[in-house]
Chains A and B, each alone.
Chain A
């Protein structure tokens, strides 16, 4: 009986909060695709702060990082987002790869251990997202099982997805490959590093929020 009341109260309050324009936006993708760089760019644009540290060494983000209450304005509308930057998901982590970047064995092993935990944490957080931005490196082959697994799991959870083809400032950038790999999704090409084409990103982030809202309404009916 008490559990039923608790469940009812939880549903009531979550319903009230859903009326607010507050969305949990997760950044997912393989390591070094630019998730933190994009999250930092958004934070800088709207709060003046940065969210996390970036590095050329893969798996720099090894814990979930948040930025609460990031208010974004687009064409006169305002929405508030909680930005959730996640560690890159991969199927292998070899400490010897980190040593190629100059880390000693002890630090490389420590980084590898933390990175494995980070991947598990990222996966566990999938259920908590209102919407997900899958950040892919536009200079690399998008046909990887990790990308397919991430998107497949988001689809199974009915979480709205936006694909970002990052690193459009680089010479071998190829958005067409990503569009061909995921033809059923909207792909926004941008350079998070230089803030190129962020306007189109915000437009699509708002569309995603709208999609999420209408999905929630349908579920309530």
Chain B
């Protein structure tokens, strides 16, 4: 049976809000927000080990979440394509990333009960919602 989405919350998470947290606290914070049925738009991207931890914690939460409907997450990150940039621009971006973190990427994470799929190619994302 198809169900209608009554409301949909998109929550912007600035880089500074999570960058100083420990990986555990960062993941807990994100998953708590997702558990409230929010789709998160995060400035920046998670490190590979944080993504790995996020998947692990998500699996644990599927079995233990107070909300019986929690079935996991959908996530995708977009990183700017630097292929067509010149050497100087590339260098500038790398230095900026080293100094202030990788803020020019974008990550979307949503609950799997709302987001059916995030289709992506290198430069665009398409959210398919469950209706």
Q: Type the 1/0 row for A85-128, where 1 means its CB is closer than 8 Å to any CB of B.
A: 00001111110000000000000000011001101100100100
The B61-88 residues at the A interface (CB cut-off 8 A) are 62-63, 71-77
* B57 vs chain A, min Cβ distance (A): 9
Q: Determine the residue in chain A with the shortest Cβ distance to B48.
A: A152
Mark contacts of A126-142 with chain B using CB atoms, 8 A cut-off: 1 yes-contact digit, 0 otherwise. Answer: 10000000000000010
Q: Any chain A CB within 8 A of the CB of B17?
A: no
Q: Tell which of A92, A93, A123, A156 touches B74, judged by Cβ atoms closer than 8 Å.
A: A92
Is A215 engaged at the interface, CB distance under 8 Å to the other chain?
A: no
CB-based nearest A residue for B115: A92
**Docked-complex contact A91 and B73, CB < 8 angstroms:** yes
> B121 CB to closest chain A CB, in angstroms?
6
Contact-size category for B: 20 to 34
For residue A17, CB closer than 8 A to chain B, the reply is no
Q: How far is the CB of A71 from the nearest CB of chain B, in Å?
A: 32
Interface of A, helix, strand, loop or mixed by DSSP: helix
The size of the chain A interface, using a CB distance under 8 A, is 25
Nearest CB of A to B27, in Å: 13
A94 near B52: Cβ-Cβ < 8 Å: no
Q: A92-B112, A156-B49 are in contact. Are A148 and B60 (CB under 8 A)?
A: no
Select which of A94, A119, A148 is within 8 A of B112 by beta carbon.
A94
Q: Which 6 residue pairs of A and B lie closest in terms of their CB atoms, listed nearest first?
A: A92-B72, A152-B48, A92-B112, A116-B59, A94-B71, A149-B51
- 10 additional contacts, CB 8 Å, given A92-B71, A116-B63? A91-B72, A93-B72, A112-B62, A116-B59, A120-B60, A145-B77, A146-B55, A153-B49, A153-B51, A155-B48
Q: What residues of chain A have their CB less than 8 Å away from a CB belonging to chain B? A: 89-94, 112-113, 116-117, 119-120, 123, 126, 141, 143-146, 148-149, 152-153, 155-156
Return 28 A-B CB contacts under 8 Å, by A number: A89-B55, A90-B72, A91-B58, A91-B73, A91-B74, A91-B75, A92-B71, A92-B72, A92-B74, A93-B59, A93-B72, A113-B63, A116-B62, A119-B55, A119-B59, A120-B60, A126-B52, A143-B119, A143-B120, A143-B121, A144-B76, A145-B51, A145-B77, A148-B77, A149-B48, A152-B48, A153-B48, A153-B52
